Amino acid sequence: MGASESKLAFKEDIFRLSGDPDIPADSSWWSRFYQLPESAEDVFALWPPNDLRHLTNNTDASPVSTGNAPPGPKKNAETLIYIAIARLEALQTRHAHSDPHTPITGEVLNCVRILTRLLPYIYEADHLAAWEAKFFWEPRKGTWVWDKKHNRRGPLFDGLNPRKKLAEGSENEEIDRPLGERLIDLLISYLFFPGFALPKKLDENNLPDLHVSYSIWQSGIGCKQSQGMTKENERNAMEVLRLLLTLSSRMMYLPPNVVAQVDIKALTYITTQCSRQAVLSLICSLLNTVLKYNPASWRVPLDLTAVTKDPKQLLVTYSLQFLLVLIIYPVPNDQTNAFRKSLSRLHRVEDFQFIQQGITLVLTQPVSGVASYVPTVSKALPWAPEMLVLFWELLQCNKRFRSFIIDTDRAHDFIVLVLYYAMEAKDDPARQGIVRMCVFILQTLSVEPTFGRRLNKPFIGQDSLPSVVRIPNFHGSYADYLITSIHTILTTTKGRLESIYPALLAIINNIAPYVQELQRATCTKLVDLYISFSSPAFLLANESNHNLLSSLLEAMCAIIDHQYDTNRRFVEIIVRSHKRFEALRDFTVDGALSELDRINQERKDRNNNVSGITSPSRGASIDSLRSPASSRSPPLGNVPEHGAFAIGDDDDEEDLETPISGPQSRSQSNASASMEDAVPVQSRSMSEKARGKQPVGHGSFSRSASRHGSTTSLSSLSTQTQHPLTTSTQFNPTADWLESWLPHLPLHTILQVIEDSKTSGTPHPRRQPAAAASSTADDAAATPRADQPPPPPIRLQTFTWSSLALGWYVSMLWGFIFAQDAQNNRGSNGLWAGTSIKLFNIANRYENISLRSPKGAVDAVGDSLARRISSLGFGAGAGATQGAAREGA
């Protein structure tokens, strides 16, 4: 039969499948589904969504035929699933052909493709949820088809063996374990089956070996010798991984606010019930395949999309995605995720080196600038975002890997790489999820004291970086570079990323006690942020904006308390800016409102054509957020309000950059809640001296929690729908509101330094020089003088995962997966093309997008994710129990 005749015959079979109800399960006609198709395109292109939905929508079922069972698809759909799984089992457990040497690959792949095509349409049908749970995940029972000749229910039989009849009345008797478990075991076995995903082997009788060999595919972790997979083996393994990924994609048809709470039976079984041998072989095979792939071999083609059909690259893509789905999955009922646990137990240095080199190889592709004559070589690889997810997961669940990255100074390289992806995506509203993830990666690193200490290493060679992360005329350490980059994100995103402002400030907070010899430009930028956060327009725009000011002041105080004598430039700039800090001490609501009116009137008088800014109650101008206005009202007349606020000599001092456009919306109160978790109320209401008497461990990083290490919790991810520069009309500042936070700002240390400088003429040391400090001191602080109180304990701002935070995380990962699949499988060949996905609303919009590159696909997904996630309210600390349940370290 020719190719065209085969396609025509398969198309006719699809018509019959949808139009002829209750076809007998023991008919030889069913074999045509795993014999006729010659490629995956045949199955996907010839089986359109309308026919699939007609098959899953059983409107013709009679009450007699359904009984008390939940509504299911047409019986033909059930029979087809049984036939495909039975054939997969037969081909693996016995020689199913008259000639044992007949290749089985074609029939195995067709069974896999049939299930891959059908499952998403079962998942999208809400009315099939109960049937799907019973059919796949309850112990298997007998089935039947309608007897059209006698118009009655036919005899009971075993669905996987239609010729095996069952006794009447035994429809409720269990005959085997759940069908879904049996399917998953078969698929994982096929990933290690000789002659399919592994090279062919013969047994002692010179027949094809049917024994599953749990051999790791590639050399690397757990294996020193590759299995020698051919391109055909790689293509076969890729298609099985696609089906496993499709089985797991039940998450895509759930709302993001519940996705982390629902038991996804397929993932629960894989992560908790698979044998230890299967788990170790699978995780090592997937990891080694991903980490050993060298994208440099594809530098010749001018377009990465030209090689997306390469089986090796597709295998790497699906291996990475399926691995991440398994690792991230939050197993219900506090069960242990075997894959996450295995990842957390890696401990050999050579394994960490292998992982670090593989991740770096992918992430440095657009940063290295190796081949400037080939334009697309400088582009990020399509799976770079997923590789960032893998890196973050390793940091969170494996404390030994985290220590390896930090202690060996490889963290310096990752700082640059992570900042590159954050900077490259920060101006694109469609990819804000990537920016958030990059910030949380840096936050995870920043909770380690060693990370903060090693940031004092001079940053040499910054001029060779891409322009997006290059800082002109930069001189300083990695601490200077990190703080300056954070300042850039805060001041250039115009409030689009206000949800991660607390996380950005927490990074500065966590490293502040360890940074030394900050450059004058860096110190100026910190004061620049202070000016923005303390301006009347910013503080009065929202009832919780003062939390950001408090967080920044804590970081500034930490520098003074723990590294006073090694940061004399910073102290000098603080002293020269004394009017700004004294103005905040004298801040009043009425004075601030008057100040805003004055600034607004001055701008009108200058005919700047700038829309008026007022306070929430007076209609002042919100543009004052971007002016260097201080927060004090009456004394502000002595402080220049316009132009740059220069500190130091003109020849070595940068002007203060444009202050940040601050967050304004009511949703910022969620950030407030997260900040309250990071900074306990008791501490916030204490003086600096009293706070220093708290136990050292208060608020410290918890290594036992699997996902601690990011600050403030993802509660801050509830971005507002209104423009971030619009003033909230729901908030009216009052004197009581001001009194609730102004006296408790951590301003005492700074004011004391200013007062000391006025008394003595110059700032005098509050601590002994750092060189005199004990080299074994845990906090790297200098030994206090006898007449000075000891510095307060270092408090780290940590993060606890909640179910809604995991909803954001899962949404982002599946967005990457969907985008990659749409890029690799155009049109109707996509795994989930045309289905009604609930995790992110992109199905209809996606059809009108020209996907010229993987980046375009990710952008399309990211845009919808940003809109979808903006409606979520992430409660701070709400998921502490769930985070502990996912412990892997």
**pLDDT of 236 higher than 50:** yes
CB 325 within 8 A of CB 318: no
Q: Please give the share of the chain, as a percent, with pLDDT higher than 90.
A: 51
Task: Give the least confident one: 175-179, 527-531, 727-731.
Answer: 727-731
What mean pLDDT comes out for the span 466-473? 91
The pLDDT assigned to 65 comes to 52
Instruction: State the pLDDT at residue 876.
Output: 28
Report the amino acid identity of residue 459: F
Residue 461: CB partners within 8 Å, gap ≥ 6?
none
Q: Residue 609's pLDDT is what?
A: 52
Predicted local distance difference test score (pLDDT) of residue 20: 87
Q: What is the pLDDT of residue 153?
A: 81
* Predicted pLDDT at 766: 52
Q: Is the pLDDT of residue 113 over 60?
A: yes
**What pLDDT sits at residue 22?**
85
Residues 6+ apart with CB under 8 A from 231: 311, 312
**Residue 651: pLDDT above 60?**
no
pLDDT at 664 exceeding the cut of 70? no
> What is the tens place of the pLDDT at every residue in 116-135?
999 999 999 999 999 999 99
Is there a contact between 878 and 804 (Cβ–Cβ < 8 Å)?
yes
CA dihedral over 86, 92, 94, 97, signed as positive or negative: positive
**Does residue 515 contact residue 567 with C-beta atoms inside 8 Å?**
yes
| Cβ atoms of residues 509 and 794 within 8 Å | no
Q: Are 281 and 347 a contacting pair, CB within 8 Å?
A: no
Q: Count of CB atoms within 10 A of residue 177's CB? A: 12
Residue 361 reports pLDDT greater than 90: yes
* 45-64 pLDDT, tens digit each: 999 999 999 999 876 655 44
Asked if pLDDT for residue 684 goes beyond 70, the answer is no
Could you tell me the pLDDT band of residue 801, with boundaries at 50, 70 and 90? confident
In this predicted structure, what is the pLDDT of residue 59? 64
Q: Residue 57 has what pLDDT?
A: 87
Residues 523 and 573 sit within 8 Å (Cβ to Cβ): yes
Mean pLDDT computed over 517-532: 95
Listed in sequence order, the residues at least 6 apart from 370 whose beta carbon sits closer than 8 Å to its beta carbon are: 296, 299, 377
Predicted confidence (pLDDT) per residue in 344-358, tens digit: 999 999 999 999 999
Question: What rounded mean pLDDT belongs to the chain?
Answer: 78
Tens digit of pLDDT for each residue in 764-798?
555 444 433 333 334 433 344 445 678 888 888 88
Least confident of 387-391, 481-485, 570-574, 885-889: 885-889
Higher pLDDT, residue 395 or 846: 395
Structure tokens at 491: 């001041």
Residue 743 — very low, low, confident or very high, per pLDDT cuts 50/70/90?
very high
Interhelix angle 478-492/410-425, rounded to 10 degrees, is 10
**Residues contacting residue 12 through CB under 8 Å, at least 6 positions apart:** none
Here the tokens at position 297 are 């071999």
Whether 85 contacts 33, CB under 8 Å: no
Does the pLDDT value for residue 207 go beyond 50? yes
DSSP character string of 367-397: HH---TTSGGGGSPPTTHHHHHHHHHHHHHH
The CA angle 670-701-791, to the nearest 5 degrees, is 100
In this prediction, residue 398 has a pLDDT band, given cuts at 50, 70 and 90, of very high
pLDDT at 346: 96
d(CA 324, CA 638): 57
Distance between CA atoms of residues 637 and 595, nearest Å: 9
Q: Which residues pair with 223 in a beta bridge?
A: 220
Task: Answer for the pair 73, 122: CB distance below 8 angstroms, yes or no.
Answer: yes
DSSP of 833-863: TTS--SSS--HHHHTT----SHHHHHHHHHH
Percent of the chain surpassing pLDDT 70: 73
pLDDT range class, residue 105, cuts 50, 70, 90: very high
Pairing of strands 157-158, 152-153: unpaired
Q: Which residues of 80-101 are buried (b: 16+ CB within 10 A; e: fewer)?
A: bbbbbbbbbbbbbeeeeeeeee
Give me the pLDDT at residue 610, please. 42
What pLDDT shows up at residue 730?
A: 66
Higher local confidence (pLDDT), 779 or 549: 549
Of 387, 455, 374, residue with least CA distance to 421? 387
3-state secondary structure labels for all residues of 569-612: HHHHHHHHCHHHHHHHHCCCHHHHHHHHHHHHHHHHHCCCCCCC
What is the Cα–Cα distance from 697 to 437, expressed in whole angstroms? Answer: 27
User: What value does the mean pLDDT take over residues 526-530?
Assistant: 96
Q: Helix 410-425 vs helix 384-397: angle between axes, to the nearest 10 degrees?
A: 130
What is residue 18's predicted lDDT score, i.e. its pLDDT? 85
Whether 531 has a pLDDT exceeding 60, the answer reads yes
Give 214's pLDDT tier (boundaries 50, 70, 90). Answer: very high
Cα Rg, the chain, nearest whole Å: 31
- Assigned token pair, 835: 């289905």
Q: Do residues 462 and 525 lie in contact, with contact meaning Cβ atoms separated by under 8 Å?
A: no
Please compute the mean of the pLDDT values over residues 564-590 and round it to a whole number. 92
pLDDT level of residue 761 (50, 70, 90 thresholds): low
Half-sphere exposure of 298 (CA within 13 A, CB side): 21
Tell me what the mean pLDDT of segment 607-630 comes to.
39
Domain extents in the chain? 3-177
What gap in Å lies between CA 727 and CA 666, rounded to an integer? 10
Q: In the prediction, which pLDDT does 601 show?
A: 84
pLDDT at 232: 94
Mean pLDDT for the stretch of residues 164-192 = 92
User: Residue 841: what pLDDT?
Assistant: 65
* Closest C-alpha among 646, 625, 429 to residue 533: 625
Question: pLDDT higher for 867 or 338?
Answer: 338
Q: Is the pTM higher than 0.85?
A: no
Residue 115 has pLDDT above 60, yes or no: yes
> Minimum mean pLDDT among 254-258, 310-314, 490-494, 611-615: which range?
611-615
User: pLDDT: is 182 or 307 the higher one?
Assistant: 182
Determine the length of the chain: 889
CB atoms near residue 314 (< 10 Å): 22
In terms of pLDDT, which residue wins out, 851 or 834?
834
Run of H or E including 625? none
H/E stretch holding 358 reads helix 349-363
Summarize the confidence of residues 74-92 as an average pLDDT: 95
pLDDT reading at 279 higher than 70: yes
To the nearest 5 percent, what fractions of the chain are helix, strand and coil? 55, 5, 40
Closest C-alpha among 261, 215, 151 to residue 802: 261
Give the residue from 509, 818, 548, 795 showing the smallest Cα distance to 663.
Answer: 548
- Best CA proximity match to 561, nearest among 515, 601, 595: 515
CA distance 85 to 460: 59
Between the CA atoms of 644, 648, 651 and 653, what dihedral angle is there, to the nearest 10 degrees?
-60
Residue written as token pair 């006296």: 743
Task: Give the separation between CA 188 and CA 356, rounded to whole angstroms.
Answer: 27
Q: Of the candidates 564, 563, 579, 476, which has an alpha carbon nearest to the alpha carbon of residue 527? A: 579
Residue 321 backbone phi and psi in degrees, to 5 = -65, -45
- 762: confidence class by pLDDT, cuts 50, 70, 90: low
pLDDT band at 637 (very low <50, low <70, confident <90, very high): very low
Q: Is the pLDDT of residue 151 over 90?
A: no
Mean pLDDT value across residues 246-258: 94
What is the C-alpha separation between 455 and 780, in angstroms, rounded?
A: 13
For the chain, the maximum distance between any two Cα atoms, rounded to a whole number of angstroms, is 107
143: helix, strand or coil = strand
Q: Are 520 and 651 a contacting pair, CB within 8 Å?
A: no
Mean pLDDT along residues 494-499: 85
> Which whole number is the average pLDDT over 553-564?
95
